[in-house]
Structure 1
Amino acid sequence: MSLETERPSRGPHAAQPVASATAFEPSYRVIRRNGAVTPFDPSKIAVALTKAFLAVEGSHAATSRRVHDIVAELTEQIVASLTRRADAGRTFHIEDIQDQVELALMRGEHHKVARAYVLYREERARERAATLAHAGGAEASAAPLRMTAVDGALIPLDAERLEALVKEAAEGLDGVDAGAILAETRRNLYDGISSDELALAPILAARTLIETEPDYAKVSARLLLDKLRREALTFLAGRPAQATQAEMAQRYGDYFRAYVKAGIAQELIDPELGRFDLDRLAAAIEPERDLQFDYLGLQTLYDRYFLHAHGTRFELPQAFFMRVAMGLALRETDREARAIDFYRLLSSFDFMASTPTLFNAGTPRPQLSSCFLTTVPDDLDGIFKAIRDNALLAKYSGGLGNDWTRVRGLGAHIKGTNGESQGVVPFLKVANDTAIAVNQGGKRKGAVCAYLETWHIDIEEFLDLRKNTGDERRRTHDMNTANWVPDLFMERVEADGPWTLFSPDETPDLHDLYGPAFKAAYEAYEEKAARGGMKVWKQLRAVDLWRRMLTMLFETGHPWITFKDSCNIRSPQGHAGVVHSSNLCTEITLNTSDDEVAVCNLGSVNLAAHVTADGLDRERLAQTVKTAMRMLDNVIDINFYTIPEARRSNLRHRPVGLGIMGFQDALQRLRIPYASQEAVRFADESMEALSFEAISASVDLAAERGRYPSFEGSLWSQGILPIDSIERLAEARGRLDLDRSMRLDWPALRARVTRIGMRNSNCLAIAPTATISNICGVSQSIEPAYQNLFVKSNMSGDFTVVNAALVRDLKARGLWDAVMISDLKYYDGSLGQIDRIPDDLKALYATAFEIAPSWLVEAAARRQKWIDQAQSLNLYVANPSGRQLDETYRLAWRRGLKTTYYLRSRSATHVEKSTLKGVDGRLNAVSAAPVARPASNGARACSIDDPGCEACQ
């Protein structure tokens, strides 16, 4: 069963790995236990697996087609897992390969074979130990290792620097053992190792320990920093260069000046940045802030954000934050002072700008906006212009929301050809494929969401767009979809009444109407249809359509449910147009028209950084919001606009979307369980404070810079703030069951708004923060924790994530040990079934699927009363039923929510329960890996961190 067996002869019954398992590049190599390096040969894995089956099932297994197929499938899985995890070195240790063999057998539930394989490994390990002891530790006298330099020369490996580097990375972190990292690192070294592999070895070694102690995530990040420093300094110097963190603290200033010069020379940095007082900015840089990253955050920045030339990163973290800050301060009077303010806020993680801003600020093409909303007209030129606009807007990292309601439906008359329309679906297919083709420079996939109103004749086909069955020409597997639902439909559902579908070419005014006006026009069209005056229409039970909407949402994750009337009735800009859709992530509610493409500029406050054990730090929050709002307002003027309709809209209305992240972390710091009235009250209190400060900051900017051009006639100009617009919705509906209490001095702020005006038509929106929360090391947006121990997958790879706060609490109570880690894995990161964990911790660290979705809705409703736009609200349902989904979404509507986002059912990917750690070959539950299992109910489980859903932030 040894993987070190020589290649077997190819007899008729020899194990044959499938073709894809052997179609790998020959540069993959294996480090043997004696330090030798040999080519990676997957056929040896197949031989080892076959011998394991022979040991259990007897000699007949060699001729068994079943065993042959199992071995081939397992070999392919193992090779795929190894090559997927391979970093720059493309080298595996023999023990790692054997670990993957063992893991594959356990995942495949070949438990007896796995046991035989484990026992064989243990026996061989004892034999090696005995041989080594008999030889008197001869390995200790082996020749020192050498490293292959960039020029190919072999030079002595600097073991002292390696040890010093690991010790520096572990410094100041409790529970971290530098010796354990060094031991695991040395296991993966070999004579002639490349400099890239040497840099990766300690990083990978520290990563394996993250689940036992969360602070190893910081160690891994600090070790990655060393790799990044070497890469950047070598690029700038034109020769090999490196520095420890302590050395870099003295060199950051010189590096920063050289970095700006190099970035301009490479045409990656706006030459205007070179005209700043670089000495003043360099003096403001705080190198120690490099140490606050977790591994996931820094690796994400390394892979996708830091500037690079021909694949070589030359941008260090503090230079990155300063580059973004400078880019946002370009038009300030005292540019350096403002850049320093912005830098300090970003690098502190108190606030983080959205991904497009981080990507592009300070570059020659500063497309900084996050979201674009368009409405598609009902003519061929307009439709394909809208698709072209999608491509141009997506090119520089924008997330798109398209309103398709105006496009006539299937069977509608086309006057120009005297034919019949094929409906909206074929055009949606083109939009879907365009989003795939424009992948934002390889940084992430293009992302778009199509919206359709519930009365559109094509709504039933629209619901099926994400199904995996049916005509592929009428499916859009890569595009998000959302229902734009009028209140009248929900009223018909509640009353079990009829619902009529129309083609918009016969009912063009419905697109722009909402509230009582929509109801009057819609009912008039129903009467007209009943008289035979409509060509294309269909009537069905509203409840039947509602059930189908929820069924598709459950089965495919789409279309999402969003509410047209609450978005429009409470919109501050109703005097200037109509909100026809939301955006990619359902938090933006801005007007669109043929002349205006709505644009929103996003950023999020790290709420966890603004709470203490005593509650919300209002003073710190006020300062953060004031600076953040200035940065967001600056985006509007600096922004690079790819189409004129976006520029026109953004400059006329100047909307921004300030949101929050780290809500769950803030609750845990305050010792408040998510599923509690206290959490609902904190959601209310914290969003009221954010809203108050954001509106105040916009008034201050208006006093300094002037009102936004379309201010007159807005709700703001009438003294109607978001908390006041609730009454408009209640009046339109006849009632609204929502707590209206307030704590702050709103009358005084209302008076300032009407007297001075607002700089921004919209101030608040809670985006998903899927990526920027990773950078800051906090929980995503307003989300409850997915699991307390899990593997997070995104475009930067797979990352073990452990709830550090939980680990601290378990340590304090003497409960953190290997058994606890094993239990967390077995129960998929949930505490509920672990008997020795106290009930108060179970409540505080309840995971998303242990919290009734009604708690999420209630907390969101309290936030919504303070927000002039909307929230990206995911709903988690562990075991969905029709009744539960019906109750949850009706509750969201009744509470006045504007939108909802994903429906998350129990994920089919979870923590592997039997994996390996160390070199002893024993099966244990220490390391985590994702394992796919089919959902028992046949539902499609949405991934928690789908890279395609990151376009907002």
Structure 2
Amino acid sequence: MSTATLAEPGQSASTSTASLQVIKRNGALVGFDASKISVAVTKAFLAVEGDEAAGSARIHDSVERVTHQVMQAISRRLKAGGKVHIEDIQDQVELALMRAEEQKVARAYVLYREAHAQERASLAPVEAHPTLTVKKANGEAAPLDLGLMKVQVERASQELEGIDGESLVEGALRNLYDGIAEEEVLSALIMTARGRIEQEPDYSAVTARLLLEQLRLETATALKLPLSLPLAEIYPQALSTFIEQGIHYELLDEAMAAFDLERLGAALKPERDYQFGFLGLQTLYDRYFLNWKGDRLELPQVFFMRVSMGLALQEDDPNARAIEFYDLLSSFDYMASTPTLFNSGTRHSQLSSCYLTTVQDDLEGIYGAIRDNAMLSKWAGGLGNDWTPVRALGSHIKGTNGSSQGVVPFLKVVNDTAVAVNQGGKRKGAVCAYLESWHLDIEEFLELRKNTGDERRRTHDMNTANWVPDLLIERMRSDQDWTLFSPNDTPDLHDLYGNAFRERYQEYEAMAARGEITLFKTVSAKQLWRKMLTVLFETGHPWITFKDPCNLRSPQQHRGVVHSSNLCTEITLNTSADEIAVCNLGSINLAAHVHNGELDVQRLERTVNTAVRMLDNVVDINYYAVPQARNSNFKHRPVGLGLMGFQDALYRLNLPYTSAEAVEFADVAMEQISYFAIRASAVLAGERGAYETYEGSLWHEGILPIDSINLLKANRREGDLSLNTDTLLDWTPVRELIARNGMRNSNVMAIAPTATISNIVGVSQSIEPAYQNLFVKSNLSGEFTVVNPSLVRDLKAEGLWDNVMVNDLKYFDGSVQQIDRIPAALKARYATAFEIDARWLVEAAARRQKWLDQAQSLNLYMAEPSGKKLDELYQLSWERGLKTTYYLRSLGATGAEKTAPVAAPQPQVCSIDEPDCEACQ
């Protein structure tokens, strides 16, 4: 480089104002040359507009203006001369391009930088280790290349703080041995980096980037791409080659070849790979990327584009829509559910998340339902079965003149089927059985998950849930009796709810009193309720779900009955003998929509509009394993748009979960989502037509979810419903739009657990509070240290983050409450799930529920449960109009008393991420 100068405002780039030296990447000092900036910016413009535009006046003027702005910025920083790093100069070029609103050129410049960084890495001189050798793929021995290791670590550490690259390389070397396979060297770096995540959260990004390098090499080999190419150049080739090979290997739908792969390849954004944390990328690597004979064929951005292409197959302009869908997914603003990510674009595009069935009361119906479970589970669906119609133990069988064995023996078969058919070999099969609380087998049903008793009447691998009518709660509160019936004697109770159920149930009780029904049992409603809560505390099952709110607020009550929820208790759709309800899920990353201390409503609107379109497309593209599911989905077209990252959003707002402001935020955010989602479905109805069974629905009658609260109130006793019904938005335009267009989808919203996709995105699960601030998470991809990056950031700001703090967090199982030097405000903000009064969870959920046309997966946490606390909590849930609850989480009384510091104990292993949670998301 030659000596150069900076420019004053109004002067050309050659005008001398100050001397400047540039620090090169190798530490050498050279003179500044402004022409280097002009050349690099010109190349970026030509990369976007083509070489034929080389002489255009617009490009010349733009290049000169950007160069001038960069030099001004540097001049302001170093008015009297001095030194500046080459990377700082390039950062200023990127910033100037963005300020000039040259986004495409800015992106081209980013890719230009990355390509040259990769090129430098590939040309780095070999720095041979003095003693260690590696075994190459061809069997030859070669010196271990220390220089390559250092470059890989340096590249993975760019723009991250607190990373000690030299120490990382030294740590990896301690795990190597002479003659190690060459590909295992990078694995050693990954393992060393992941071991440091607890000390510095940015090591999660370092580990992910090292894994990305491993994936690049693996994918390039599998697709026969040049190994020396940087990611920015590999990506376009990788997409087209992957589509070609995927179709050849019969992994992908042949229709994927019809896309403009060159256009889509150019739309990929390799820089978004750097958004991943280690847990997220490892999860994709292990379980989501398509592979052929164990070799991954997808890079992250190719993966997101494949999913997007699959969702855009039937669009009028599939290429433009695929790019739109890709931009949303790859930005992490929204994430599709796991089945969609698994199967979009494949030959068996089973994209739906949840299936709900009603089991009929005969052997053909029972075993047909079990077969349906197997077929649906094979293609990664979570299952909810309504078993209420099946007659109870001791009831008469007309065909054989014998007595029924009841529901329980068949549930044992369901349990074993879920184990045998493990969702295509990718994760455990998962099913939940529902039974109404008036069923004569309910007491034995409550004990299915117990560890004692007859093993032939236990189901340890499936979930169970109570389908509780309001009348039971009323009887319990009044300390009255409750009558259990066999459904073959009281068949219409299954389809009744609200006041109609109350009246008919009392008629059946009168019939039993007169001797017209002989098979029944009278119990204390309070004692049955207590037993429900007792076994829920002891076994975690059956969950408590409420029949009447689910039905009275259902938009589709004109076309059937909601007989159960699904595996994760967020879906509330009708089922019958000829309809298996289906729901298609996806979740907004709420944390990504909070900026500068407030909700970014415009960004949220864009996200919801695109997300609803993607979800609606699933209905038409979906592979249906059983005809009843197709029949139901095409009639009603339900979708379930949810959210995740609620706790992270609160961190960004500096709000404790246990605050009125957090409850208010839950309300405000959900109203915005509801407004945009309902409107988006009505807009789609104008474009594509309303769903088949729209007429007669609550939508058709002008009753929105917020209005349906009145229907629930009309069927409750005075004082039994206490729910905030305030609104902030003007809903008139949405009501008018629905009146004109109808709705494209019978149901639009449901908040699922997001157990896996939140890991991919790197945010807190669903609406959950933080489990712990430091713990080890176990899932099907292994064990991962998780440290709360928001807490670390705030502790660093207070000057409190150090090794002592790490050990304190380990000692107190990820809790900050007993660490004296942490300020009270941070203790409140970072209270963990078992340190939060569960009533706050219910209050926030109630505010969301008023806007939802379906339900939410609401886990409840209680560190020290008691019968009184459980009773009050679940009664509060009912009073607030919640439709369902999910797991009750409690702490075991097995922790040793901690009275003195101990030497670096291991973080507590989290058991919350149970495999069944992942079946929906």
Match of 1:928 in 2: 906
How far apart, CA to CA, are the structure 1 residues paired with 2:535 and 2:261? Answer: 56
Match of 1:849 in 2: 834
How far apart, CA to CA, are the structure 2 residues paired with 1:294 and 1:517? Answer: 53
SS at 2:131's partner residue? coil
Match of 2:803 in 1: 818
Which of these residues, 447, 451, 465, is aligned with residue 468 of structure 1?
Answer: 451
SS at 2:383's partner residue? strand
Runs of 4+ residues over 6 Å off in structure 1: 908-915
Q: Report if aligned partners of 2:813, 2:908 keep a CA contact under 8 Å in 1.
A: no
Match of 2:5 in 1: none
Match of 2:203 in 1: 216
The offset of 1:394, in angstroms, is 0.5
Q: Report if aligned partners of 2:133, 2:141 keep a CA contact under 8 Å in 1.
A: yes
Match of 1:949 in 2: 917
How far apart, CA to CA, are the structure 1 residues paired with 2:195 and 2:452? Answer: 41
Instruction: Label 1:911 to 1:308 Cα distance change in 2 as closer, same or farther (>3 A).
Output: farther
How far apart, CA to CA, are the structure 1 residues paired with 2:386 and 2:546? Answer: 14
Match of 1:277 in 2: 260
Q: Report if aligned partners of 2:396, 2:404 keep a CA contact under 8 Å in 1.
A: yes
Q: Report if aligned partners of 2:375, 2:625 keep a CA contact under 8 Å in 1.
A: yes
The offset of 1:943, in angstroms, is 2.6
The offset of 1:311, in angstroms, is 1.0
Deviations 1:874-904 (A, max 9, x none): 0000000000000000000010000000000
Segment of structure 1 superposing worse, 193-202 or 567-576? 193-202
Residue 787 (1) aligns with residue 765 (2): no
SS at 2:435's partner residue? strand
Q: Report if aligned partners of 1:229, 1:243 keep a CA contact under 8 Å in 2.
A: no
Which of these residues, 218, 222, 227, is aligned with residue 231 of structure 1?
Answer: 218
The offset of 1:818, in angstroms, is 1.0
Mapping of residues 365-376 of structure 1, within 5 Å: 365-376=348-359
Which of these residues, 486, 489, 494, is aligned with residue 469 of structure 2?
Answer: 486
Q: Report if aligned partners of 1:486, 1:514 keep a CA contact under 8 Å in 2.
A: yes
Match of 2:593 in 1: 610
Counterpart of 2:184, as a letter, is: E
**TM-score, with structure 2 as normaliser:** 0.85
The offset of 1:576, in angstroms, is 0.5
SS at 1:602's partner residue? strand
Mapping of residues 354-393 of structure 1, within 5 Å: 354-393=337-376
Deviations 1:615-635 (A, max 9, x none): 111100000000000000000
SS at 2:223's partner residue? helix
The offset of 1:155, in angstroms, is 2.5
How far apart, CA to CA, are the structure 2 residues paired with 1:811 and 1:390? Answer: 51
How far apart, CA to CA, are the structure 2 residues paired with 1:617 and 1:911? Answer: 45
Match of 2:184 in 1: 197
Which of these residues, 160, 164, 170, is aligned with residue 177 of structure 1?
Answer: 164
Mapping of residues 645-724 of structure 1, within 5 Å: 645-724=628-707
Q: Report if aligned partners of 2:128, 2:146 keep a CA contact under 8 Å in 1.
A: no
How far apart, CA to CA, are the structure 1 residues paired with 2:337 and 2:792? Answer: 30
Q: Report if aligned partners of 2:394, 2:405 keep a CA contact under 8 Å in 1.
A: yes
How far apart, CA to CA, are the structure 1 residues paired with 2:339 and 2:195? Answer: 32
Instruction: Label 1:142 to 1:338 Cα distance change in 2 as closer, same or farther (>3 A).
Output: closer
Residue 896 (1) aligns with residue 881 (2): yes
How far apart, CA to CA, are the structure 2 residues paired with 1:727 and 1:492? Answer: 22
Which of these residues, 471, 485, 502, is aligned with residue 485 of structure 2?
Answer: 502
Match of 1:880 in 2: 865
Residue 537 (1) aligns with residue 512 (2): no
Match of 1:155 in 2: 142
Deviations 1:130-173 (A, max 9, x none): xxxxxxxxxx9984322112232222322211110011001110
Mapping of residues 39-438 of structure 1, within 5 Å: 143-237=130-224, 242-243=227-228, 247-438=230-421
Instruction: Label 1:911 to 1:621 Cα distance change in 2 as closer, same or farther (>3 A).
Output: farther
The offset of 1:488, in angstroms, is 0.3
Instruction: Label 1:361 to 1:913 Cα distance change in 2 as closer, same or farther (>3 A).
Output: farther
The offset of 1:867, in angstroms, is 0.1
Q: Report if aligned partners of 1:912, 1:930 keep a CA contact under 8 Å in 2.
A: no
Counterpart of 2:906, as a letter, is: A
Match of 2:717 in 1: 734
SS at 1:608's partner residue? helix
SS at 2:545's partner residue? strand
How far apart, CA to CA, are the structure 1 residues paired with 2:880 and 2:919? Answer: 28
Calculate percent identity across the aligned residue pairs.
66
Q: Report if aligned partners of 1:912, 1:928 keep a CA contact under 8 Å in 2.
A: no
Deviations 1:358-416 (A, max 9, x none): 00000000000000000000000000000000000010100000000000000000011
Unaligned runs of at least 5 residues, structure 2:
1-126
Which of these residues, 743, 753, 756, is aligned with residue 741 of structure 2?
Answer: 756
How far apart, CA to CA, are the structure 2 residues paired with 1:223 and 1:486? Answer: 54
Q: Report if aligned partners of 1:829, 1:911 keep a CA contact under 8 Å in 2.
A: no
Q: Report if aligned partners of 1:800, 1:928 keep a CA contact under 8 Å in 2.
A: no
Mapping of residues 434-445 of structure 1, within 5 Å: 434-445=417-428
How far apart, CA to CA, are the structure 2 residues paired with 1:335 and 1:648? Answer: 26
How far apart, CA to CA, are the structure 1 residues paired with 2:128 and 2:296? Answer: 39
Instruction: Label 1:168 to 1:626 Cα distance change in 2 as closer, same or farther (>3 A).
Output: same
Instruction: Label 1:723 to 1:142 Cα distance change in 2 as closer, same or farther (>3 A).
Output: closer
How far apart, CA to CA, are the structure 2 residues paired with 1:912 and 1:761? Answer: 53
Deviations 1:823-846 (A, max 9, x none): 111111111111111000001111
Counterpart of 1:188, as a letter, is: N
Match of 1:636 in 2: 619
Match of 1:527 in 2: 510
The offset of 1:254, in angstroms, is 1.4
Counterpart of 1:226, as a letter, is: E
How far apart, CA to CA, are the structure 2 residues paired with 1:814 and 1:141? Answer: 40
Counterpart of 1:386, as a letter, is: A
Unaligned runs of at least 5 residues, structure 1:
1-139, 916-921, 932-941
Counterpart of 1:408, as a letter, is: R
Q: Report if aligned partners of 1:828, 1:911 keep a CA contact under 8 Å in 2.
A: no
Give the alignment's Cα RMSD to 1 decimal.
1.8
Q: Report if aligned partners of 2:357, 2:580 keep a CA contact under 8 Å in 1.
A: yes
SS at 1:352's partner residue? strand
SS at 1:460's partner residue? helix
Residue correspondences, number: 793
Counterpart of 1:220, as a letter, is: T
Deviations 1:620-663 (A, max 9, x none): 00000000000000000000000110001000000000000000
Match of 1:134 in 2: none
The offset of 1:793, in angstroms, is 0.4
Q: Report if aligned partners of 1:822, 1:913 keep a CA contact under 8 Å in 2.
A: no
Counterpart of 1:352, as a letter, is: M
The offset of 1:907, in angstroms, is 5.7
How far apart, CA to CA, are the structure 2 residues paired with 1:336 and 1:950? Answer: 31
How far apart, CA to CA, are the structure 1 residues paired with 2:833 and 2:471? Answer: 32
Match of 1:18 in 2: none
How far apart, CA to CA, are the structure 2 residues paired with 1:337 and 1:285? Answer: 13
Q: Report if aligned partners of 1:501, 1:539 keep a CA contact under 8 Å in 2.
A: yes
The offset of 1:848, in angstroms, is 0.4
Counterpart of 1:324, as a letter, is: V
Mapping of residues 568-647 of structure 1, within 5 Å: 568-647=551-630
Counterpart of 2:771, as a letter, is: Y
Q: Report if aligned partners of 2:129, 2:144 keep a CA contact under 8 Å in 1.
A: no
